[in-house]
Amino acid sequence: MFNLQKLKLGQKFTLLLFIVFLGGILASGLALASVLNRSAEAQLTTQALMLMETMNSVRSYTVDEVRPELKERLESEFLPETIPAYSANQVFGILQNNPDYEEFAYREATLNPTNLNDKADEFEATLVNYFRERPNAEELHGVRKRFPLNDQFYIARPIQIKKESCLICHSTPEAAPASMVELYGPNNGFGWKLNEIVGAQIIAVPANQVFQTALKSLILILGIFILVFAMAIYFVNFWLKRYVVRPINRMSEVAEVVSMGDTAAEFVQNSQDEVGKLAESFNRMRMSLQMAMNRLERYRGRRTGSKDYTSQ
């Protein structure tokens, strides 16, 4: 069983420094990992929000600029280009043709879409139901694991029917434009209600590279910390051994010699610190012991001389 009392002073100092070193590395590692993860998440959030706002701008442009220009044609035919979700998806599809953005994703996923391409998958349905169960929730974000594909950081917002004009196309097949029903069929995208949350607007950006960069930074910084701590332990341990442990060991050796009767041995005093004061105290004790022994020898000498005189 480990017994701390049996360790030498230098070993105790080394053990203490190692414990401090290990605790410092663990604490700094956890704190640094948290900071770097938050930084990585903030970077991903900035990218995602920028794309989200871009898609919302496309939606607004479609409603405010495109739809009024095609108003007369809309009276006789259905034009997908006037639907905000369609325009946003088309624009994002063009963006994805750029290799730098091919792993980004934009979805306006609904549980009961008109266009089955917009039907929510299992993960997206979970997000939609989250908003349906929490009507006051405005946003949700997290990381979607897609092994063996790259993970994605996503931001999701609820799609809620806030205008009665939306129900023209989504209430019943009879009320919807005939050309839309002919294009998408009468079985999907109907039965929506005012203020109902029917889907989720989701933007996803690749997360692996950002988090891997954060991990590399963590390893690099921890490596520097370990090197600095190791050097600190080495120099502190070296200093302690040279200026504390070795002088104490020398005093212990001298004290042992003095205890054997050699009062001429002297405790070397090389400093004015606590160790030096201890050596000075030992020297005073040695001198006092030497004086006491000298007096004892003289006393014994006088006693011996007195006995010899009496015997004569």
pLDDT in tens, 92-129: 999 999 998 999 999 999 999 998 999 999 999 999 99
CB 10 within 8 A of CB 241: yes
- For residue 162, what are the CA distances in angstroms to 50, 167, 193, 194? 24, 10, 9, 6
pLDDT bucket at 268, cuts 50 / 70 / 90:
low
Looking at residue 200, its pLDDT comes to: 96
pLDDT bucket at 4, cuts 50 / 70 / 90:
low
The C-alpha atoms of residue 164 and residue 193 are separated, in whole angstroms, by: 9
Looking at residue 97, its pLDDT comes to: 93
Q: What percent of the chain has pLDDT over 90?
A: 32
Each residue's pLDDT tens digit, 151-208: 899 999 999 998 888 888 888 988 888 888 888 889 999 999 999 999 999 999 998 8
Higher per-residue confidence, 258 vs 184: 184
CB 161 within 8 A of CB 167: yes
Is the pLDDT score of 61 beyond 90?
Answer: yes
By CB atoms closer than 10 A (0-12, 13-18, 19+), residue 276 is: middle
Q: CA 12: distance to chain centroid?
A: 33
H or E segment and range at residue 109: strand 105-110
Mean per-residue pLDDT, 243-270: 71
Under 8 Å CB-to-CB from 63, ≥6 apart: which residues?
A: 84
Is the pLDDT score of 248 beyond 80?
Answer: no
Beta bridge partner(s), residue 105:
204
Residues shown for the chain: 312
H or E segment and range at residue 141: strand 140-144
Looking at residue 308, its pLDDT comes to: 55
Range in 10-14, 50-54, 106-110, 261-265 the model is least confident about? 261-265
Helices (H), 161-207: 167-170, 178-184
- Please work out, in degrees rounded to the nearest 5, the angle formed at the alpha carbon of residue 114 by the alpha carbons of 113 and 118: 50
By CB atoms closer than 10 A (0-12, 13-18, 19+), residue 103 is: middle
The C-alpha atoms of residue 307 and residue 301 are separated, in whole angstroms, by: 10
Is the pLDDT score of 273 beyond 80?
Answer: no
